[in-house]
Amino acid sequence: MIYCVVPEPLVDELFDKLTDYYAEDPNVTVIVERRRASRRGSGAQMGGARTVRDRRRARVPGELPDAPPSS
């Protein structure tokens, strides 16, 4: 599914045109963006401090033995 998002100030100008343009494509839906503000806020106001972590696994400590020679 592909959403073609039209900003609210441009609805009168673009919504009907885009709806007609994509009418034959069932994978495209034209919608109007009605959000007034960003959903993200500063950390303390939105439930706590956000931490950024390295998601890679830590390396195994120590050395690996030498591999036997291939024949």
Domains of the chain by residue range: 2-33
pLDDT at 32: 96
Task: Let me know: does 22 contact 4? Beta carbons within 8 Å.
Answer: yes
pLDDT-derived band at 65 (thresholds 50, 70, 90) equals confident
Q: In a 3-state reduction of DSSP, which class is residue 17?
A: helix
Task: Let me know: does 29 contact 2? Beta carbons within 8 Å.
Answer: yes
d(Cα 69, Cα 21) in Å, to the nearest integer? 65
pLDDT tens digit string along 5-51?
999 999 999 999 999 999 999 999 999 998 877 766 655 566 666 67
Task: Let me know: does 34 contact 5? Beta carbons within 8 Å.
Answer: no
Phi, psi of 5 (to 5 degrees): -95, 125
